[in-house]
Structure 1
Amino acid sequence: MTKLSDTQAIILGAAAQRDDRNVLPLPGSLRGGAAQKVIGALMKRGLIAETVTDQLAKADPALNRIWRNDEDGCAILLHVTDAGLAAIGIEPEQPDTKPAPKTRKPRTGTKQARMIEMLRDDVGATIDEIVEATGWQAHTVRGAMSGALKKKLGMTITSEKVEGRGRVYRIASD
């Protein structure tokens, strides 16, 4: 059995009693840096996890139900995992399977949408071309390709050196 602090056991036990297994709200005395530290430790050990929702509700200072918001403003909740239930002696109802990643749909009319459009073009785009089209800095373009396009949207980005243009990036067609 996993060794837990009293606070961690209280948080997991309360979440296990909720139908939605939401970790929030936290005990009334746990706020600010202390809350961040306890939640971070539970997440690091895989006993709780974040769940991105389609809600555009804002996280509230009292940490009532929504933990935080992602860059698109969607609410992120915390839920107890099957490992968290096992740590407090509760058998999970079903085997611990990882949920399929949500495929997000990019918003239209944004700089990100413009970048995607350029990368889907047959000729692709260089970092400098995307910088010029979006007004972003080069490191922001690289971060958007790595984070938003690859990780969040699940796109495959390819690159190749093209004589006279430099490194050209494209979104691989499915």
Structure 2
Amino acid sequence: MTKLTDTQTLILTRASARPGNLALPLPDGLHGAAAKMAIGRMVKLGLIKEVEANTRRGEPLWRETGDGHGTTLIATEAGLAAIGIDPVVVKTMAGLRDAKPEAIAAAQRPGTKRAQLIAMLQAKDGATIAEIAEATGWQAHSIRGAISGSLKKKLGLTVTSEKLAERGRVYRLAGHFDATIS
């Protein structure tokens, strides 16, 4: 594991709280050659990557490409994992560049019950309300509310369920497991 500098940690921490894990704007005082060196090193280590900027959404530009387009910087899964963001949550959040900033930040906090809920729903076997209640200490109505409100409405995740004879109703995050559900 790479030991991060204070600057690298600050850039990644700020990126983890922004929509789409945007690494820009950089911290105050980091510009010019120092910024180029810091970002170059982080790109080389795989902590951040350059992607095409969506200027319609107002994403900040790192550099212009000369063809009327530009690039921006985003934290990678490896970069977020380096600052302690749960890799399971990182994978879930990877496609949410359009989500609300507060929803992304809340879902990425490691060790929270929401992160635990997401991890349980991503498991191949999914999870029942009773299993989630035992793991989180939540009541059944709170779990159903978190699934429909927090995961489905706020984060835009697709949660599926199916009734199994041996376990009862099992919930899963669509596209995050090996079994096929109809």
- TM-score, normalising length: structure 2: 0.45
Larger helix proportion, structure 1 or 2?
2
What TM-score do you get using the length of structure 1 for normalisation?
0.47
